[in-house]
Amino acid sequence: MKDKTIAFIGDSLGRQQFQSLMSVVSGGEDKPEVGNVRWKYSLLNIMILNTGHHWSRGTLRANRWMMHANGKPVTDRKLAEMGNAKNYTLYSIARWLDSQILLHPQLEVFLRTISPGHFCNGDWNTGGSYESSNPVVKGAVRGTKLKILGITALSELRDESQIPRNSTKA
């Protein structure tokens, strides 16, 4: 991994994974040179991408986000429905990234799954549920050079895995 550029793109869990990796490779010393590679996409060796945090109804409502396709707002209600929009977006991202791998053969791209604590309509103890049982990511990367970094099952093994701060009191 020496002289390699890795980009963790996504959410706080990606940031924590980056911090853990930096701790391991630096032996715990706070001296490794870390640069902002936001505009150096063509120089990346490894990209770890997550978009799961974008698909919470609360996030979409709070930010007043509107889906766009081909540079225009989506007015088709069926496509704009959460599941359809998520599928469309993930498949589009996967196809575009796959086309970039041909141009940048040194690039390895991983779509990271989400941690198990992402609930809709409440939390685990207030009627919330994780509604998606559709393996969208597997379908999106099928036929591409992208790989899946599946952390959902791994995260479930950790007792503190994305548990809300104010859950139940012992």
pLDDT reading at 25 higher than 60: yes
Where are the chain's structural domains?
6-25+36-114+139-156
Q: How confident is the model at residue 145 (pLDDT cuts 50, 70, 90)?
A: very high
Strand ranges inside the chain, DSSP E: 6-9, 46-49, 68-69, 72-73, 108-112, 147-149
pLDDT reading at 49 higher than 90: no
pLDDT reading at 10 higher than 90: no
Residue 151: predicted pLDDT = 78
Query: What are the CA-CA distances from residue 101 to residues 23, 37, 51, 143 (Å)?
Result: 29, 18, 19, 13
Task: Compute φ and ψ for 18, nearest 5 degrees.
Answer: -60, -45
Residue 57: predicted pLDDT = 67
Looking at per-residue confidence, does 42 or 124 come out higher?
42
What does the alpha-carbon distance between residue 26 and residue 49 come to, in Å, rounded to a whole number? 23
pLDDT reading at 138 higher than 60: yes
Total-model pTM: 0.69
Share of the chain above pLDDT 90, in %: 9
Residue 168: predicted pLDDT = 42
Asked whether the beta carbons of 17 and 8 are under 8 A apart, the reply is: yes
Give the mean pLDDT of 117-127: 61
